[in-house]
Amino acid sequence: MRELKKFIRYSQNKETEVELLLYFCEKLKYFKPSIKRNTTLSNLYNRQIDYISKKVETLHEDLQYDYRLELNELLKK
């Protein structure tokens, strides 16, 4: 997460930030062993999902739609 935040800071682009965070959450969701058994990782995942939701609201409408679809895919299961 630290490395990811560093890359986000250097890019200074909101779309890049959302893309990277979505990718991180996707990898974390399918991580083996499951993060559901680990409270710390579960909380990290949930915080990032909330953060992505807030960031998506600041983007252009077309991008919002696309990112919400991806976000909804992550929230399934």
Which residues fall within 8 angstroms of residue 62, CB to CB, at 6 or more apart? Answer: none
Measured CA to CA, the distance from residue 8 to residue 74 in angstroms comes to 21
Q: pTM for the full model?
A: 0.88
**pLDDT score at 64:** 94
- Give the tens place of pLDDT for each residue, 28-47: 988 898 888 899 999 999 99
pLDDT category, 77, cuts 50, 70, 90? low
The count of residues in the chain is: 77
Measured CA to CA, the distance from residue 49 to residue 72 in angstroms comes to 10
